[in-house]
Structure 1
Amino acid sequence: MAALNFVLSVSLLIAFGIRVGQADCPDEWVQYQGSCYFFVNNYTTWHGSSKYCQSQNAELVAVESQDENDFLLRYIHRFRCAFNSQFWLDATDMILEGVWEWAQSLEALTYFNWGPNEPNGQLNEDCIVVRDDNGEWNDISCTDRRYFICEKKNVPSSCVSDADQVIG
């Protein structure tokens, strides 16, 4: 009987096109591995970008793997005509020069994709951009203006229910 219930459940999920384990993203956001990304066509400072993302219940993107960096670069290339520039990441060394951490969590970066001779530690280059041509990272001044990407992490799918919810 349990096997029949399982088969029926899976059949219903397939019939209704429900994607278990994938994020439900707002319109115009892109889903990738449990997060939603929004490529913002607005040229602003790192602080302005971060503030905008927070207004969307998100943060500037925190790139944590080569796969994620490659995914972002593919989308940046799709929008090349609209953007053709660099994009802010959430990383900064504002607190301690040379110690890069994600601003949203204050966790040290465990993945880097620095370009040649980067970070170069020039005065006041405390924020990171990802380059649109090759996906490499560069440290620049946080007051420069760039495009940006917001990320909503670990967005549940509509199939995930609240553990405290009583049904029936």
Structure 2
Amino acid sequence: MEEHPYSDVLKLHRRRRCCRPGVLTALLALMMTALWAGLLTLLLLWRWDTVQNLKQLEDTAALNISQVSKDLERYKGDQMAGRSQEAQALQTMEEIQAEQRRMKDQDSELSQDLDGLREDLTNLKSQGLNERRAALTSLEKLQEEVSKLWVELRVANARTPKVTPGKMLPPTLLTVPLVPTTMSTTVPATAPATAPTLVSTTAVPLSLSSTPGSMCDTCPEEWVSFQRKCYYFGEGAKRWIQARYACSDLHGRLVSIHSQEEQDFLAKYVNKKGSWIGLRDLNIEGEFVWMDGSTLDYSNWRPGEPNNGGEGEDCVMMLGFGQWNDAFCNTHLEGWMCERLATC
């Protein structure tokens, strides 16, 4: 049997057709293997990189935790130090407050002592002024008596008969050495040794105007003279006790009014909003006493006053129109009146 000339080609073609699916399968398997290998490699690389990052994060976290621990310990130390400083500050504050309370107590005691001393000083000044006033009054009375005595002496000398030699003189007044005079003594040459000495004088009898101290009207600057006293009219808001000490600083005291003439004089200078005067009933309610220690012997109360309104009006003010009113001692008045004795 004769073979076909193309039989070999056909066989080869058939053989190729039979081998092509296996090759494709192998190639596909190879590609899949390579793909999986690549994926596995990438996965391994990703895992390694992740592990490295995790290690870095772990190291960083450890460092941060260590730093945070240190910061926390430092913060706790600072907090403890702050608490200690706070406790020390509180203790210091308590000590300061205790010292302030002690100083306030001492200040209160010193203020009381100072007020007592000022009160005693004021009383001494008032007593001295009263004694001086009493002495001046006594001196004036004595001067009047001396003046009367001199008048009687001049009358007696005028009626004395002339002296003749060998004749005894009748009894007459002797020389009074209390008052300075211009004297001429006339004694007869033949008069007995036991005869009293006669005096003829040309002296003028003393009067209050010529007696030392009777016309003392000299006052310091800005003080006003009236009836042998000096008056100062202060201005500026003050309470009664402040006005009292202001007068004391000026070597005076709040005014004491004992006559209508003095009241009329002071009413000319009273502040329109009222002025403090030296009358008060601080010790016994209703028993008003002047700064000179005298009781109320003259008054010019406003109708209905004093009424102790509010149960605490213990100091007296002169209203702008001159009448008096009892008021609270802590009230700030714009005016206050001081007095002191005039000098010669």
Q: TM-score, normalised by structure 2?
A: 0.38
What's the offset of the Cα at 1:131? 1.2
Which structure ranks higher in relative contact order (CA pairs < 8 Å, sequence separation ≥ 6)?
1
Matched, 1:36 2:230: yes
What's 1:166 paired with?
A: none
Instruction: Compare the two structures and name the one with the higher strand fraction.
Output: 1
> 2:289 — aligned with what?
101
What is the number of residues matched between the two proteins? 140
Question: Match of 2:242?
Answer: 48
Matched to 1:58, the amino acid is G
How far 1:5 moved relative to its partner?
6.9
After superposition, give the CA deviation of every residue in 1:131-166 in whole Å (9 maximum; x if it has no partner): 122x1100000100111011003x231xxxxxxxxx
Deviations 1:26-80 (A, max 9, x none): 011000001100010122000000001001110001111111010011233xxxx
1:4-153 → structure 2 map (5 Å cutoff)? 21-76=215-270, 83-105=271-293, 107-122=294-309, 123-133=311-321, 135-146=322-333, 147-153=335-341
Regions of 4+ moved over 4 Å = 1-6
Q: Percent identity?
A: 31
Query: Aligned partners of 2:244, 2:316: CA distance in 1, in Å?
Result: 12
Is this contact kept in 1: 2:272–2:319, CA < 8 A?
Answer: no
Amino acid at match of 1:75: Y
> Residue type of the partner of 2:284?
L
Paired residue type of 1:55: D
Higher percent of residues as helix = 2
Stretches of structure 2 that go unaligned for 5 or more consecutive residues are 1-181, 184-200, 205-209
How far is 1:104 from its partner? 4.0
> Which structure has the greater CA radius of gyration?
2
* Residue type of the alignment partner of 1:115: R
- For 2:248 and 2:203, locate their aligned partners in 1 and report how far apart those are by CA, in whole Å: 42
Q: Is the 8 A contact 1:22 1:33 kept in 2?
A: no
Shift of 1:4: 6.9
Structure 1: stretches of 5+ with no match in the other structure: 7-12, 14-18, 77-82, 158-168
Counterpart of 2:124 in structure 1 is none
Query: Is contact 2:219-2:343 (8 Å) kept?
Result: no
